[in-house]
Amino acid sequence: MKIPKITLEDHVAVPGTADKVPDRFEPEAWQKISHALLDIHGQLLSDMDAAGIGMSVLSLNCPAIQGIPDKKRAVEAARRANDYLAEQVARNPKRFQAFAALPLQDPDAAAKELVRCVKQLGFRGALVNSFSQIDVDDSAVYYDLPQYWDFWGTVESLDVPFYLHPRDPLPSRMTSFDGQPWLRGSVWGFTVDTATHALRLMSCGIFDKYPKLTVILGHLGETLPFLMWRIDNRISMASRGCPAKKKLGEYFKKNFYVTTSGQFCTQSLLDTILWLGADRILFSVDHPFEKMSVAANWFDNLDTISEADWLKMARGNAERVLKLDAAK
């Protein structure tokens, strides 16, 4: 019998924040999704039970806090959201845990909020929806910049993971998608932006300063396991002053974990295992944007990996990385 799985990328919304329909969804489809984002102890729990999932680590859907340019509002919204997440976990802590939402518009405030969430609320880390808009709508700030280095020191000192989750690139920065809007969002735009963000972190030297820092990427690493050899090869031929002291692939293998969220493809999983190893891969779904039943049916019926590796990815790695209690 399969053990109850743990899934890390299941999204919820704070009441009052799921009303706006994202451009990539039809209103009817978003109505179902927004209901699922809010129905934690009903639909989500029922879907977990049906899929053999024992625990879900909750996080806000994108762009959430990262889409609030006003710093004060972002700080206040993050605190309210985290208090709400803590309330949901408290109702059923054996089945739910949470990742903190952080106002990275203000790095100092984000560090303080992460400390509060980990030390006081018992959160298992943070999930941040890629870049933050700051002061004006048409802005995109990434976390390799110098003002974020102290924040990363806080993450390392707390010994919790930072889940770097995608969001839509801003329209002003999406000109390569002009005329083909179907390539935006989770089809391709998410991956391009998040993979680039992760490479910025690897390149800037942050993992040399904070070697125990842990970052999680969804969707089997946003294509990076399949491209890392070429990335390192080309940098070695023309580094152009890259400050990282090691090959980027070394940071990827040592400082990153990836999840299966929204990427239920056996060939892709096998390729990722060959690059990172089964110890660095965690089962996840991406609820409610993916069906738990589809993810679980694929994962539970894998016949191309060992039982030991399956158990690691299903639950063991998450228990270790998130410091969860042993399976009940």
The per-residue DSSP string of 78-138 comes to HHHHHHHHHHHHHH-TTTEEE-B---TTSHHHHHHHHHHHHHTS----EEEESSB--SSSS
Q: Is the CB of residue 81 less than 8 Å from the CB of residue 64?
A: yes
286 is catalytic: yes
Give the active site residue among 144, 286, 300, 303: 286
List 257's β-bridge partners, or say none.
216
Task: Say if CB 239 and CB 211 are below 8 A apart.
Answer: no
Quick check: 53 and 296 in contact, CB under 8 A? yes
The number of residues making up the chain comes to 328
Q: What span, in angstroms and rounded, lies between the C-alpha atoms of 289 and 277?
A: 27
Residue 36's CB is within 10 A of a number of other CB atoms, namely 21
Question: Residues with catalytic annotation?
Answer: 286
